[in-house]
Chains A and B, each alone.
Chain A
Amino acid sequence: MNKRQSALLRIMELEFAAIELNLFLDTHPEDRCALADFEKVSQELMKAKTEFEARYGPLMNFGFGRNQGDTWRWIESPWPWEINFKGFELYGEE
């Protein structure tokens, strides 16, 4: 697994934790423990995404991810359905 792949998996882990905490907080909006966890996870997630986008281009469209460089990197592959996470090789190369 290369650096890009492990960085993406780390973002997926952090964002899953954020999704779970978000849904829990929707019905427990005053749970201080979950609020603290959400704040911690969301800071780590933002940091991981910023680092990823600086190297590999935007993860999100419409201005929520930064495009650094001379070209519009949003259009670059791989798109999510083009990645086989089994050994993390790219599809379309067989």
Chain B
Amino acid sequence: MWIYEKKLEYPVRVSSTNPRLAKVIITQYGGPDGELAASLRYLTQRYSMPTPQAKAVLTDIGTEELAHMEIVATLVYNLIRNATVEQIKAAGLDPYYVDHDKSVYFVNAEGVPWTAAYIQSKGDPIADLHENMAAEQKARATYEYLINVSDDPDVTDTLRFLRQREVVHFQRFGETLNLVHDWLSSKKVFY
């Protein structure tokens, strides 16, 4: 069960219409290292997690990633919402515009739609937790590249928050991996 809360996890501030910035930020919505991939990866891996801590961490981080998806969508929507067709063409966003107008769709920065092939659910908790730690680092790197190209300091502030969350999630997944290692080495089954 999930409950929706009518607020963002962190404030979104947008200084001005900027379809060029929207075009790259959208990769954190529907790209390979984006928030949809993160959320769905953790929420589907949790079923085969063996320890109480791991089940909780995957559920809670998977849920927080949904809130990050909403923050990214809010950024993208408000960066393109008032754009003219001329501004959209100048930003190279016209191929997106003819398919989606100014709605928010799951694509990467190059317009490639999201695919479940971005994520894995291997069933082996060591393999899955290593994938998740790598995913957090890839998302951190993506936010750093986005901060490098951002020309809107208000948008950069929100990107910095999202980057910091990747660092915290990486830490929690690392602790979870240690706990699963302890559990595996203490497991004694006689039959």
Within 8 Å by CB of B4, from A27, A60, A83, lies A60
Majority SS at the chain B contact face:
helix
The answer to whether A91 and B81 touch across the interface, beta carbons within 8 angstroms, is yes
Residues B4 and A61 in contact, CB atoms below 8 Å apart: yes
Residue B6 interfacial (CB < 8 Å): yes
Q: Is there an interface contact between B13 and A59, defined as CB atoms closer than 8 Å? A: no
Q: Does A62 contact B (CB under 8 A)?
A: yes
Q: A12-B8, A60-B3, A86-B13 are in contact. Are A26 and B78 (CB under 8 A)?
A: no
For window 41-79 of chain B, which residues contact chain A by CB distance below 8 Å?
52-53, 56-57, 60-61, 64, 70, 73-74, 77-78
Indicate whether A23 sits within 8 Å of B6 (C-beta atoms), given known contacts A80-B74, A85-B12, A86-B13.
no
A-B contact count (CB 8 A): 83
Q: Which residues of chain A in 1-51 are interfacial with respect to chain B, using CB atoms and an 8 Å cutoff?
A: 8-9, 11-12, 15-16, 19-20, 22-24, 26-29
A24 to B172, CA, bound (A): 7
Distance A61 CA – B4 CA, assembled complex (angstroms): 6
Of B3, B12, B13, B52, which is within 8 A of A61 by CB?
B3
Per CB-CB distance, the 8 closest pairs between chain A and chain B, nearest first, are A85-B11, A86-B13, A27-B175, A81-B74, A26-B56, A80-B8, A26-B57, A85-B13
Chain A residues at the B interface, C-beta cutoff of 8 Å: 8-9, 11-12, 15-16, 19-20, 22-24, 26-29, 58-62, 64, 74, 79-81, 83-86, 91, 94
